[in-house]
């Protein structure tokens, strides 16, 4: 398939552990992959590493917690590359602490980056998807948005909010050939998780019935499936991928 005929996939938070795996898998599966970044310091070495792996991903700057910045980024992507066919809302941060110690800024930063970004990005690509009668919106939530987690009222609230967003939007756009789904990973072997002290890591693994962390490529495989034509009758769903840590 010629490059210009490939579907364009935008992955937000592309330079993180999960984002990197998603970009590689989507590229491998034939998509035209576009990544979003906010830190130039991180983006340049990331692009160099991707090039070494023969993975071609184009990066565009945008603060997805800000509506105007997001709109500008998506306009540039659609001008330079083409319409966004699939959106993976993957950007996220943490500011973990008990609520009694949490400041307004701690709350707002997480809600803005993890939840408002989902609105900001989706709102700016949705009309085009509706006009073309095709689209995929894939929201990356978390097991802690399903069950809660001590010290994560802000993060859990944002990730739980994704589920309501997904279900409601899925109903609104199904007739336009657009699917909207959520993935809720448990503990995944990203660089951030692997950097915790060994004792803490062992305690985390002990909570997982499968006795191991998930692989970033396992989440990426699910993202690629939900982006494909093979998933066209799946919408409004949440996929738990947590090794049995939370079943319901």
Query: Would you list the domain boundaries of the chain?
Result: 3-188+215-234
3-state SS class at 61 = strand
Token output for 40: 């130039």
The span from the CA of 64 to the CA of 72, in Å, is 10
The residues annotated with a catalytic role in the active site are: 155
Each residue's pLDDT, cut to its tens digit, for the chain (248 residues) gives: 344 458 999 999 999 999 999 999 999 999 999 999 988 888 999 999 999 999 999 999 999 999 999 999 999 999 999 999 999 999 999 898 999 999 999 999 999 999 999 999 999 999 999 999 999 999 999 998 899 888 999 999 999 999 999 999 999 999 999 999 999 999 999 887 887 889 989 998 999 999 999 999 999 999 999 999 999 999 999 999 999 999 98
Q: Integer distance in angstroms from the first to the last C-alpha of the chain?
A: 41
Return the beta strands (E) in 144-223 as ranges.
Answer: 178-185
Taking domain 3-188+215-234, whether its CATH number is 3.40.50.720 is answered by yes
Cβ neighbors of 48 (< 8 A, separation 6 or more) are none
Full DSSP string of 234-247: --S-EEEESTTSS-
Residue 76 neighbours by CB distance under 10 Å:
13
pTM for this one?
0.94
* Whole-number Cα distances in Å, 112 to 12, 40, 42, 103: 14, 20, 21, 14
């Amino acid at each position: 398939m010629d490059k210009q005929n490939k579907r364009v996939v935008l992955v937000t938070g592309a330079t993180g552990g999960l984002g990197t795996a998603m970009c590689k898998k989507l590229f491998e599966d034939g998509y035209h992959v576009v990544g979003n970044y906010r830190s130039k310091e991180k983006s340049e070495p990331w692009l160099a590493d991707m090039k070494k792996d023969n993975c071609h991903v184009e990066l565009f700057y945008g603060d997805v917690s800000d509506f105007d910045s997001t709109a500008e980024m998506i306009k540039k992507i659609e001008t330079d590359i083409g319409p966004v066919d699939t959106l993976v809302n993957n950007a996220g941060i943490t500011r973990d602490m008990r609520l009694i110690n949490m400041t307004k800024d701690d709350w707002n930063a997480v809600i803005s980056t993890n939840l408002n970004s989902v609105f900001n990005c989706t709102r700016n690509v949705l009309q085009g998807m509706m006009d073309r009668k095709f689209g995929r919106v894939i929201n990356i939530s978390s097991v802690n948005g399903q069950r809660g987690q001590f010290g994560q009222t802000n993060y859990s609230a944002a990730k739980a909010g994704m589920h309501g967003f997904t279900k409601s939007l899925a109903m609104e756009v199904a007739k336009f050939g657009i699917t909207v789904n959520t993935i809720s990973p448990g503990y995944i072997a990203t660089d951030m998780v692997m950097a915790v002290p060994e004792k803490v890591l062992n305690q985390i693994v002990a909570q997982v019935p499968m006795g191991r962390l998930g692989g970033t490529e396992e989440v990426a495989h699910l993202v690629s499936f939900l982006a494909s034509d093979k998933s066209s009758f799946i919408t409004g769903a949440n996929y738990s991928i947590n090794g049995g840590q939370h079943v319901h």
